[in-house]
Structure formats: structure tokens, C-alpha cells
Chain A
Amino acid sequence: MSETIQGIEELNLTRKDFVPGNEVRWCPGCGDYSVLANMQKTLPVMGVKKENYAFISGIGCSSRFPYYMDTYGFHSIHGRAPAIASGVKLANPDLAVWVITGDGDGFSIGGNHMIHVLRRNIDLNIMLFNNRIYGLTKGQYSPTSQLGMKTKSSPYGSIDRPFNPSAIALGANATFISRALDVDAKGLQESIKRAQRHKGAAFIEVYQNCIIFNDGEFADGESKATRPDNALFVTHGEPMIFGKEHDKGIIMKDHHPKVVTLGGDWSEKDLLVHDETNSIITNLLLEMTFDPLNPTPFGILRAIEAPTYDEMLTAQIEDVIEAKGEGTLESLFYSGDVWEVK
């Protein structure tokens, strides 16, 4: 896609404009670095003025992100970033608001805010750093940690059944859902761009490696050698093909997605075609996430248009003003039965 959105040239922003002077303090090798770099690389070409970006985060390793962006930033309290960001956007709809959160921040303590911000479709972007662990508090299992996982708070293995954040986003009626790998610059940039352009709440789930407390969690996808056979990158309108040799595809069999090898019995036209506007396809992709027989899907899983809360609020205010006239303190104060003492 060409990046000549109107105004980009005049803005003349570069990656450097988004890098503040302070030191980044994540562990060496943490997946967060790559996400930060790709954010800093992508924002300059979005046609948004630098001062109009606001990054709002909760608490966690990932939530330190705003300190490393030379934009307006608010590092808030655990789990509440979606609610704070909602207020920011409603107060000033001109801002490009980003929420940065973790699997604990966004889906444990802040789960309630997350589903509601997605449901309301407030025009902001949410980036979830899913490392399937509580990083900042030094390694307890999270609501996305796999069963049996041994952590500081589950020395005998976790008995806490995980859920799939992107599936929750779909359940919450999100209008945009994408998934990317921390090491995949192209996929990350694509997600960031599409999210920033999306009108409404855009949800990006990043699979992020925590090298200290959950190293290798996404190894199948992270390693260049195994990725092609384990990850399915979907594109709207394209058949679902993956594999080192581009020789595998997904068909629908008995209402379930199934991997087939192209060539022999199967050709491209038998394959499922991705449709980011069709929630049945999105759901099917999300069902594949934990299925050992299927690859893990990445890319823009869902993108539909729907009215945004902020837009509707502004419109309602305009409509009521038009119908009733702009309210003055006089008209307000005298709106009841008034009597005079002379």
C-alpha cells in the first residue's frame, strides 16, 4: 500500500522524532524492543502530527512503553488504561490515542474495561503485549498462561485454564482485531498502520517473548525455521496458504478447519478465503489458535465498520444543541418553577 496519505510529506516526521532521550530499561532480548522500534518507525508515516499522539498504559513491563515514546504519554494504574484512554479521546477527539497493555494488565485486572472499550467502539488503538506471564512482578502465571505451566505462583503447574484475548475481543464485538509476532517487523507494521487508520477501537494482540520468565513460549512462530509451517498469515480476499513451500492450505471439513497439502487432491480454489468482515471466518481463525493440528493465524483477523462512540457523542451534542439551542446558565437555572421575593 502506498504511504502517500495527504499531509505526510508536509509533516516530515522521522523515526527519530519519536525517540526520547531516556534509556530503555527492558531486559536485553525482551520482545518489547522490537515492538517499540516498529511503532517508532510506523507512526511518522501515518499523517498524524506528533503532538496528537497520546500513549496511555497500565502497569507491567509492557506498560513502560509510553516512557520510551517521545509523544504525550500517561503511565497510569494497573488495568485501567482503556478507561483513562476513553476519557482522553472523548475530551479531545482529534487525538490519536493508543492503549498499551499486557496480558495481566488488560485481561486480568483490567478485563472489564477491555471488553467495554471494545464494545463501545471508541476510536482508539489497543496494543496487547501477550507474553503469557506477569513479567514486572517477576513471573507469575497470567490468564493467558498455558495449563501446566510452572511459574513462581504455580510451582506444581498451572491449573488455571487460559483464554484467548483475540477471541474475547471478538466476543466483545470489536470492530478490528489483528495479531502479530514481536519478531515480525512486517506484520507488526501492517497491524499498526491498519489499526491507526481504523475508525473505532482497534485491537492488536502481539505475541511477545519474555526472555526471562517465559522464554520460547512462541518459539514455533518466532524461529524463522519453524515459522512457515506453524504460522498462517492471512490477507483479506486471499486463500489461506502457508508452509515453507507455500504448499499447505486450510479447508473446511465437517465444520472444522483442516490442513491439506496442495498439489495432489487439493488446489487453491478448494481453500478457505480470508474475509476480515466476516465474523464466522474470524471465529474460525481464532479457534485454530490453540489447535495443535492447525497453524496459528496472524494478520488482520477482523475489520468492520461501525459507528464510534466518540462520533455519536459529538453528533448527539450537535443535534441537541440544534434542537434546543445552546444552553446558557440563565436557561438552566430558570428551568424549574421560579418565584420572586420582592
Chain B
Amino acid sequence: MTKKVIRINEATIRFAGDSGDGMQLTGTRFTEATAIVGNDLKTIPNYPSEIRAPLGTLAGVSAFQLMFGSSRVFTPGDLPDTLVAMNPAALKVHLKDLKKGGTVLANANAFSLKNLKMAGWEGNPLEDGSLEGYTVYSIEMSKLVGKALESSDLTSKGIERTKNMFALGVLFWMYNRPVEPTEAWLRKKFGKNPAIAEANITAMKTGFNYGETTEIFTTSYAVEKADLPKGKYRNITGNVAVAYGLVAAAKKAGKELFLGSYPITPASEILHTLSGLRNHAVKTFQAEDEIAGIASAIGASYAGDLACTTTSGPGMALKTEAIGLAIITELPLVIVNVQRGGPSTGMPTKMEQSDLLQAVHGRNSDAQIPVITAQDPADCFDCAFEAARVALKYMTPVILLTDGYLGQGSGPWLIPDPKSLPEIKVTHPDSSARGENGFMPYSRDENEARPWALPGTPGLEHRIGGLEKENITGMVSQDPENHQLMTDIRARKITRITQEIPPSEIFGKAKGKVLVIGWGSTHGSIHVAVDRVQAEGKSVSQLHLRWVSPFPSDLKEICDNFDEILIPEVNSGQLSLLLKADLVRPIHQLNKVRGEPFRASEIEEKINEILG
């Protein structure tokens, strides 16, 4: 029987199973194969905060979603077209998201009475008609891999574990992806244990052949290559991209990189990645807490390293006082907050954009700080690099906001030519900077940055600290005039950073009815929504802010050209609050805090509602 191949433009797949079923790995392998085919894509994992929630429970379901397509893909997709459900709990949790008429691929062997009951199913949905309206492939995956690996040396448990590779094989067939890259990857990963490698490969191929030969599958899908900018690509998560951006900035500045950090979800991968880069002379210091993380970074910065600290919301709260110290001592520092749901411990593995006000204003006193935000995983590289560049140029701490969705999510990264990255000029005064009256640690250059005099430089011995300092001399001063002056200088220096912000790009016309403004990871869903509404011939444009402190200087002018402004945010309206104060005009808000990103459709609806 020859099978039909249907060309489609894009597809969204969600892999869901028990935490122990290896869904993250399965999703990642599908992603790599898809990237190699040349599709554009975005991915997002969704896993429980418990490392090993009880087997088969709703709490223990782990999922991974990706969207891929033959044109640009801006989000990991709203509702999946295909749901892989390795057990009843996975189906229970994720069925509600599946597109109408979507496809379910289930491991029938996992739908035992016990598992069904644990997941809260009355009967067996694979058999009792609960899935009417969907295309259901109920496959005895466990049994099939058991058969295929009958002669293998693996234990029956070990064999059972390869069922995710079977599912992957079926999907490779269904979407016409190559199995070879995964085959090579498995051989490398289990190099020391070839039996496991071969078993997994056999399982994957059995799945592929199952799609090819059994009659239950009649159709497979092909997604053409996307028209991506030319160049070499790799898939990258936001957290790895941040790490690479910092390494690149350090190299371009001729500095050693120091990271002071304390583990926290969803930021830890930055610490992990940088800890593995000792051959890049990266110094990672796993501190005793987040305060020590930033404090050690401040010390390293004082002594001349490019220093950074990485964390998520609760850790950010702990760093607050030390950020003030970096502000008043005017030392360069990159502070990365991979935001998660809060307050307090909140929802560690779920995304949120609710630390914006904390970043911009969350300190005692008037303590301005530049805040840059990344819009997609690959953009995390550019933003980390830019944060470091600005920190070094202006002698200031800089906050980089990403979130769990960006940090853990991935997308293709057009690998930059290292030579094309800008050099970062850093100068340290030498002994000649000592004048007749000594060295002046609070004198300033054309950007009002103070000199970065390093301990060890003869003749420039001086003292800095958290007490207010006299302008120019740096002596301790509690003089009222001086405090006013220093407060003004510190604020002016940050405002001056607007000169680093290129003219804002608007997606759509520069004048019109509705302007949708976003920041951070909402970029993709806003873009898709605006694109769809524009396609209906309606007047809507998108402006995405990269710097949220200071704001770009053309912001007000751009806003003045639109009748209405809409700000969708995964918080209760924080950018809206800042912009209302800045623009003094009403703003439409679209806010949700459900631990998940916006669906483009939600934004689309809101735009249409405003357009009337």
C-alpha cells in the first residue's frame, strides 16, 4: 500500500508522559531532527516541580511541545495538532489543549485499570468513545518494544524504558524526519553501554517501520524547509544562550568571566553551563546563598573581572541590598533574572513576567538601573552580550530579564561569526592617573562613567563603599548638596543609556489604530496575533521593547501615532503601570498569570475587541 504524503505549513506536537518516561529527551530529539530538516521552530518544556512525583499521577506528568514550520515560527505553538500521551494521566492533563480534530498517539499498554483510576478516568478513553472527534492511534508500544527486543540482554524494565523511542520513531515517520541523527546521538550517549544504545535504536526503528507498514496509518506529513537567513544554525535554549553571551562579552572585553550564583529553578542551567567552561577560564562560584552570589560578583568586579550573577525571583529578592551597593559604587555587573511564577516560592517551573517592577524599582532609595529583556531563546545571547557591554561602558549594574519559558525553551540560533561581534573597549587607569591631590575615583568620562581602578595598581589606592561619596574625590560625604548632586548624576547616567538604543522597529505601519506593545517573551505570540489581524486588512502594529529602563527615546512619539495602545503581559499589568506614568494616557491591558505564555489567539481576540 502506498501512503499519502500531505504537505503542511506548520505543525505543533506535544509529547506528554510520566516524569520517568523521558518526554524531555524525546522532544529534544524530535527538535534536533526537525532543525536539521531546515524547519524553523520553537520549543517549550513543561515539567512538574517535583523531581519524581508519584508514578502515574496527574502531578507527575511531564511534557514538551514544539512548533515547526516552513516559514518563520515565533512561538512553540498554542494548541497542539498531535498529542503523544504515554499514560492516562498525560492524556487527562493535556487533552483539553488538543486542537479540535487533532491526533492522539497513546501507549495502550499504559492504560491499565490502576493507571486509569489514578488519572481520574471513569472508563478507558481509548475505547469508550471519550475521544470522539479526534484521530486516535492506540498502540501497544510497551508490547511492541518487548517483542522487538526479545533477544536483547536488557532487563524487562530496561526494555520497557525504550518505549519513548518507539513513539519518537512513529512521529519521525509521521512527519518525515530522519532517524539517523538520533541514531548517531544514541550511539554517542551510550558509548559505554552499546546494548542500551542498540536497544533504543531498535525501538525507534520499530516505531518508524510500524508507521510505514501497519495499515492504521494512511497518511504522513511533510513540512518544507523554512526560508531562514543563510548561515549555520544550532538549536539553543535561552539559558545556554545567556551563558554564551556572557562568555562572548568577556572575550570581546579582554576580561575573565566570573559568575557568583546559587542554584534555583529555572535559572540553574546558566550556572551549569558556565561551570563546564573552565577551558574558557570561566570562574564559577557556587555561593552559599544568593546574597553571597551577587556579593562575590561585586568583589570580582571590583578586582577587574566581568562579573555576573544569575537567579530567579526569590533569589532576586535576596540580592536587592547588594544591587544597591553595586549602584552606589558604580561597578559593572550583569544580574540575570530568569523569572518564574510568584510571589515567594510560587510556581518554580512555570513562567511569568512579574518581576518587571522589581527590576526597575525594587530597591530602597532612588536607585536606577538599566533593564534589558530578551524576546526569544536565541535573543538571550544578544541581550546578555549587550547587558555586559553596557555595564562595562557605563560602569553600572545591568539587569537582564528572561523567564522560564525563554530559559528552558529553545529555538534555532543563527550562529554569529565571533569576529563580527563588537569589541568591548575597557580601560583601567594606571599610576599616571594619580594627580597632585591623589587619585579621584569619582571623576567621570564623557559617559559619566567613573574610572575602574583595579586593586594592585600602584598609586591609585582608594576606598569605595556603600556610604555616599563626595563627587570626584570619593571621600565619605553626608553633605546635602553633594547627595543631591550624586543622586542626579547616577540617574542621569542611566537615562543616558537611551543613546545605546537603536530607533525602535515597528512591525506594521508607523501610524494607525492599535499599537500592541510588549516586552520579553510575549514577542512571539504578539507577533503572530498582530500578523493575523493585519492579514484581515486591519490597522494594528507591534512595538516590542528590549530596554524597559531606560525606555527608548522615540517611544512617546511612536505611541502618539496610534489611537489605542494594548499591552499584553504575563503579569497583572506592570509595564502598563510604568507606561501609563510615562505616557500619561489610557492603556488597554491584557493580563494573565496562569504560569503559561499567551496564546496568539487570546491576543488576537483582544485586538479585535479594541478595533470593534
Residues of A within 8 A of B (CB): 22, 49-52, 54, 56, 59, 66-67, 70-77, 80, 83-92, 94-95, 112-113, 116, 313, 316-317, 319-321, 323-330, 332-334, 336-342
Q: B457: CB under 8 A from chain A?
A: yes
B295 in complex: contacting residue of A66, A87, A340, CB < 8 Å: A87
The reply to whether A90 and B283 form a contact with Cβ atoms under 8 Å apart is yes
Contacts of B281 in A (CB 8 A): 317, 321, 326-327
B603 at the interface (CB under 8 A from A): no
CB pair B35 A328 closer than 8 Å: no
Q: Is the CB of B32 within 8 A of A337?
A: yes
Contacts of B300 in A (CB 8 A): 87-88, 90-91
Contacts of A91 in B (CB 8 A): 256, 258, 283, 299-305, 307
B36 to A, closest residue via Cβ: A339
Query: In the complex, given contacts A83-B260, A91-B307, what are 13 additional A-B residue pairs having Cβ atoms less than 8 angstroms apart?
Result: A22-B475, A75-B467, A77-B466, A80-B291, A83-B287, A84-B296, A87-B307, A88-B303, A319-B278, A320-B278, A328-B418, A329-B421, A341-B230
Chain B residue with the shortest CB-CB distance to A319? B278
Chosen A-B contacts, 24 in total, with CB atoms closer than 8 Å, are A72-B461, A73-B462, A74-B463, A76-B466, A77-B321, A83-B260, A85-B299, A87-B305, A91-B258, A94-B456, A95-B455, A95-B456, A112-B288, A116-B292, A326-B279, A333-B415, A334-B234, A337-B181, A337-B234, A337-B235, A339-B36, A339-B38, A340-B231, A341-B38
Instruction: Evaluate contact between A51 and B278: CB separation under 8 angstroms.
Output: no
For residue B509, which residues in chain A have a CB less than 8 angstroms away from its CB? none
B7 located at the interface, meaning its Cβ lies under 8 Å from any Cβ of chain A in the complex:
no
Cα A59 to Cα B322 in complex, Å, equals 13
Q: How far is the CB of A121 from chain B (nearest CB, A)?
A: 14
Contacting residues, chain B, for A66 (C-beta < 8 A): 463, 465
Nearest Cβ on chain A to B291's Cβ, whole angstroms: 6
Find out whether the CB atom of A75 lies under 8 angstroms from the CB atom of B466. Answer: yes
A334 contacts B38, CB within 8 Å?
no
Give the residues in chain A near B279, CB-CB below 8 Å.
317, 320-321, 323-327
Q: How far is the CB of B257 from chain A (nearest CB, A)?
A: 10
Q: Which residues of the partner chain B approach A92 to less than 8 Å between Cβ atoms?
A: 303-304, 454-456
Residues of A within 8 A of B460 (CB): 51
Inter-chain contact A84/B302, CB cutoff 8 Å: yes
B66 interface residue (CB < 8 Å to A):
no
Interface size class of B (residues with CB under 8 A): 35 or more
A80 touches B233 (CB 8 A): no
**Bound CA–CA A340/B185 (angstroms):** 19
| 0/1 string, B232-252, CB within 8 A of A gives 1 | 111110000000100110010
Q: How far is the CA of A49 from the CA of B279 in the complex (A)?
A: 31
Q: Which of A313, A327, A333 has the most CB of B within 10 A?
A: A333
| Residues of B bordering A, CB below 8 Å | 32, 35-36, 38, 181, 185, 225, 228-236, 244, 247-248, 251, 256, 258, 260, 277-281, 283, 285, 287-289, 291-292, 295-305, 307, 321-322, 324-325, 329, 415-416, 418, 421, 454-467, 475-476
Q: Point out the residues of chain B lying under 8 angstroms from A72, CB to CB.
A: 455-456, 461-463
A residues near B32, Cβ cutoff 8 Å: 337
Chain B residues, CB < 8 A from A71 = 461
Chain B, Cβ-Cβ closest to A72: B455
Question: Does the CB pair A59–B475 fall under 8 Å?
Answer: no
Contact A87:B244 (CB < 8 A) given known A326-B279, A329-B251, A341-B233: no
Interface residue from A75, A90, A116, A342 paired with B464 (Cβ < 8 Å): A75
A80-B295, A87-B303 known; A340 vs B233 contact (CB < 8 Å)? yes
Cβ-closest chain B residue relative to A113: B292
Nearest Cβ in chain A — how far from B379, in angstroms? 16
Contact: B247 with A84, CB < 8 Å?
no
Lowest 6 CB-CB distances: which A-B pairs, in order? A87-B299, A75-B465, A87-B296, A83-B295, A91-B303, A329-B418
Q: Which residues of B contact A83 (CB under 8 A)?
A: 260, 287-288, 291-292, 295-296, 299
Number of A-B residue pairs with CB-CB distance less than 8 Å in the complex they form: 208
Which residues in A have their C-beta under 8 angstroms from that of B421?
329
In the bound complex, CA of A67 to CA of B466 (Å) = 12
B302 touches A74 (CB 8 A): yes
A317 to B299, CA, bound (A): 20
* Chain A residues whose C-beta falls within 8 Å of the C-beta of B304 in the assembled complex: 91-92
Contact call A70/B461, Cβ cutoff below 8 A: yes
Q: Which residues of B contact A88 (CB under 8 A)?
A: 299-300, 302-303, 455
Bound Cα distance A58, B415 (Å): 44
**B458 and A49 contact, CB distance less than 8 A:** yes
Contacts of A342 in B (CB 8 A): 230
A66 to B474, CA, bound (A): 13
List residues of chain A with CB within 8 A of the CB of B244: 332-333
Given the interface pairs A92-B454, A94-B456, the reply to whether A87 lies near B233 with Cβ below 8 Å is no
Q: How far is the CB of B353 from chain A (nearest CB, A)?
A: 28
* Residues on B with beta carbons closer than 8 Å to the beta carbon of A22: 475
Least distance between A271 CB and chain B CB atoms (Å) = 40
Among A73, A85, A116, A332, contact of B463 (Cβ-Cβ < 8 Å): A73
In whole angstroms, what is the CA distance A70 to B439 when docked?
Answer: 12
Residues A87 and B463 in contact, CB atoms below 8 Å apart: no
- Our pick among A50, A56, A332, A337 for the contact of B247 (Cβ within 8 Å) is A332
Distance in angstroms from A336 CB to nearest chain B CB is: 4
Residue from B288, B322, B461 in contact with A51 in the complex, judged by beta carbons closer than 8 Å: B461
A254 to B56, CA, bound (A): 61
Which among A56, A80, A330 has the greatest number of chain B C-beta atoms within 10 A? A80
A residues near B278, Cβ cutoff 8 Å = 316-317, 319-321
Partner of B285, one of A52, A70, A90, A329: A90
Q: Are B455 and A59 touching (Cβ within 8 A)?
A: no
Residues of A within 8 A of B283 (CB): 90-91, 313, 317
Select A80's contact among B248, B322, B462, B476, beta carbons within 8 Å: B322
Chain B residues positioned under 8 Å from A67 (CB to CB): 463, 465, 476
Provided the pairs A95-B456, A333-B418, A338-B415 are in contact, do residues A75 and B233 lie with their beta carbons within 8 angstroms?
no
In the complex the two chains form, is B464's CB within 8 Å of A341's CB? Answer: no
Distance in Å: Cβ of B37 to nearest Cβ of chain A: 9
Chain B CB within 10 Å, residue with most, of A87, A332, A333: A87
**If A76-B465, A92-B304, A332-B244 touch, does A337 touch B35 (CB 8 Å cutoff)?**
yes
A87 in contact with B258 (CB, 8 Å): yes
Chain A residue nearest to B293 in the complex (CB): A83
CA distance A54 to B461 in the complex (A): 9
The CA-CA distance from A173 to B384 in the complex, in Å, is 38
Is A116 a contact partner of B288 (Cβ separation < 8 A)?
Answer: yes
From B35, B247, B459, B475, A339 is in contact (CB under 8 Å) with B35
Q: Within 8 Å CB of A56, what residues of B?
A: 299
Residues of A within 8 A of B185 (CB): 337
Return chain B residues, CB-CB under 8 Å to A313.
283
Expressed in whole angstroms, the Cα–Cα distance for A94 and B298 within the complex equals: 18
Whole-angstrom distance between the alpha carbons of A341 and B279 in the complex? 30
- When chains A and B are docked, how far (Å) is the Cα of A95 from the Cα of B303? 9
The residues of A that contact B322 with a CB separation of less than 8 Å are 77, 80
User: Nearest chain-B residue to A340 (Cβ)?
Assistant: B232
Pair B455/A51 contact, Cβ less than 8 Å: yes
**Residues of chain B contacted by A95 (CB below 8 angstroms):** 303, 455-456
Judge whether A87 and B260 touch: CB under 8 Å: yes
Q: How far is the CA of A138 from the CA of B321 in the complex (A)?
A: 22
Q: Is the CB of A86 within 8 A of B236?
A: no
B302, chain A: closest CB distance, angstroms: 6
Chain A hits for B415, CB < 8 A = 333-334, 338
A202 CB to closest chain B CB, in angstroms?
A: 18
Smallest CB–CB gap between A113 and chain B, Å? 6
**Docked pose: A56 CA to B303 CA in angstroms:** 12
Q: Once bound together, how far apart are the Cα atoms of A84 and B287, in whole Å?
A: 11
Distance in angstroms from B270 CB to nearest chain A CB is 14
The residue on B at minimum CB distance from A59 is B466
Please, which residue of chain B has its CB at the minimum distance from the CB of A73? B463
Shortest CB-to-CB span from B316 to chain A, Å, is 16
In the complex, residue of chain B having the shortest beta-carbon distance to the beta carbon of A87: B299
CA of A341 to CA of B225, assembled, Å: 9
Contact indicator A329/B247 (Cβ below 8 Å): yes
A90, A95, A313 — most chain B CB neighbours (10 Å): A90
